């Protein structure tokens, strides 16, 4: 917009109307949807089905997925929704604080740790083969964010348990396989246990078309970029605000390993840094398909 256009819109009052409209969106709880992402939909009873194909690593990148740890919990000062620095193999204030609570031996503190535990999300490029709920998505490339259960399905295909099962690379254009995503609602949560890979087959028969899809893929390393993470001090400041506590000097054991091998995931939206979303309070229910095994992790720390 040029300066002359700015002045013209000022006279017409269009800028004011636009700002009022945006304020109304905020008041109604509307948020900007990232059109790059695909998300499955379920029917009224909680069932959903779609067929997708996981795509190879984008050009210039090594892995066909990115892995991000995060925290999402509510305190007296609001919500804490932040990426965890443990993603980058760095110390994170929530992990440090949770370790202190766990080592206290107090059952109430351990329950707090369970509510504040890390969540794990994976990001990958996919090609939508079939999407009955939104057929306009079919034949397009999207980003897909998913949790541990689906990642376990991928690993199961690459490293099968039994000798009569043939290992496949689900991310391969020619020798990969379509993924039949089947969702059922179980104990109030989406369950993916029935999801499975189809038989291996080329995604498309035309290599030129496959190359065209490949060039449409989105970067996955973007989710690990520095601008996706706040500094330790910034995160600690936010944590203290959310928990309504004063900063304090904490004793940190430098020899304690990071939570690299924990299990679980959660998929909060990080498009805004400090929202107050209408999300359920994170519970310690083991029914969540992305449940993080914080119990075993902190028990291990306590025994070291």
Find where tokens 């999402």 sit: 72
Answer whether 0.95 is exceeded by the pTM. Answer: no
pLDDT at site 259: 40
Distance between alpha carbon 167 and the CA centroid of its chain, in Å?
A: 27
pLDDT at site 246: 64
- 3-state DSSP call for residue 100? helix
Angle, vertex CA 271, rays to CA 270 and CA 273, nearest 5: 65
Q: What is the CATH number of domain 48-303?
A: 3.90.198.10
pLDDT confidence band for 5 (50 / 70 / 90): low
Helix%, strand%, coil% for the chain, nearest 5: 35, 20, 45
Buried b (16+ CB within 10 A) or exposed e, 229-252: bbeeeebbebbbebbeeeeeeeee
Task: Tokens for 82, please give them.
Answer: 């932040």
Q: What is the pLDDT of residues 143-201, one digit of tens each?
A: 999 999 999 999 999 999 998 889 999 999 999 999 999 999 998 899 999 999 999 99
Q: How far apart are CA 116 and CA 260, in angstroms?
A: 17
Res. 281: pLDDT tops 80: no
Pick the residue with more confidence: 72 or 8? 72
Q: How far apart are CA 4 and CA 7, in angstroms?
A: 5
Q: How far apart are CA 157 and CA 73, in angstroms?
A: 33
pLDDT at site 236: 97
Q: Per-residue pLDDT averaged across 47-76, rounded?
A: 97
Pick the residue with more confidence: 251 or 186? 186
Res. 207: pLDDT tops 60: yes
Q: How far apart are CA 303 and CA 170, in angstroms?
A: 39
The bridge status of strand 177-186 relative to strand 141-146 is unpaired
Q: Per-residue pLDDT averaged across 23-42, rounded?
A: 74
pLDDT at site 143: 98
Q: Per-residue pLDDT averaged across 253-278, rounded?
A: 41
pLDDT at site 210: 97
Q: Per-residue pLDDT averaged across 205-216, rounded?
A: 96
The bridge status of strand 65-75 relative to strand 141-146 is unpaired
pLDDT at site 245: 78
**Strand ranges inside 214-285, DSSP E:** none
Q: What is the pLDDT of residues 215-238, one digit of tens each?
A: 999 999 999 999 999 999 999 999
Q: Which of 128-132, 220-224, 276-280 is predicted with the least confidence, judged by mean pLDDT?
A: 276-280
What is the chain's mean pLDDT, rounded? 82
**What are the boundaries of each domain within the chain?**
48-303
Find where tokens 């095994």 sit: 293
């Amino acid at each position: 917009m040029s300066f002359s256009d700015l002045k013209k819109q000022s006279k017409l009052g269009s800028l004011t109307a636009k700002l009022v409209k945006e304020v109304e969106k905020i008041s109604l709880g509307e948020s900007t949807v990232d059109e790059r992402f695909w998300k499955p939909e379920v029917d009224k009873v909680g069932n959903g089905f779609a067929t997708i194909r996981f795509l190879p690593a984008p050009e210039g990148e090594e892995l066909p997925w990115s892995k991000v740890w995060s925290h999402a919990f509510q305190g007296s000062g609001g919500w804490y929704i932040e990426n965890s620095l443990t993603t980058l193999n760095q110390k994170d204030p929530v992990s440090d604080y949770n370790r202190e609570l766990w080592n206290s031996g107090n059952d109430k503190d351990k329950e707090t740790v369970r509510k504040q535990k890390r969540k794990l999300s994976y990001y990958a490029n996919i090609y939508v083969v079939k999407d009955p709920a939104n057929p306009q998505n079919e034949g397009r490339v999207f980003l897909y964010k998913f949790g541990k259960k689906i990642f376990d399905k991928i690993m199961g295909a690459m490293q099968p348990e039994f000798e009569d099962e043939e290992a496949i690379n689900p991310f391969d254009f020619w020798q990969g396989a379509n993924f039949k995503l089947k969702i059922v609602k179980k104990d109030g949560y989406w369950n993916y246990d029935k999801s499975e890979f189809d038989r291996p087959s080329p995604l498309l028969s035309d290599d030129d078309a496959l190359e065209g899809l490949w060039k449409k893929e989105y970067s996955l390393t973007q989710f690990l970029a520095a601008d996706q993470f706040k500094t330790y001090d910034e995160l600690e400041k936010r944590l203290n605000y959310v928990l309504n506590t004063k900063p304090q000097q904490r004793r940190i054991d430098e020899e304690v390993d990071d939570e690299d091998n924990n299990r679980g995931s959660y998929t909060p939206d990080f498009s805004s840094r400090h929202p107050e979303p209408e999300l359920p309070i994170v519970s310690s229910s083991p029914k969540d398909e992305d449940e993080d095994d914080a119990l075993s992790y902190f028990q291990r720390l306590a025994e070291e």
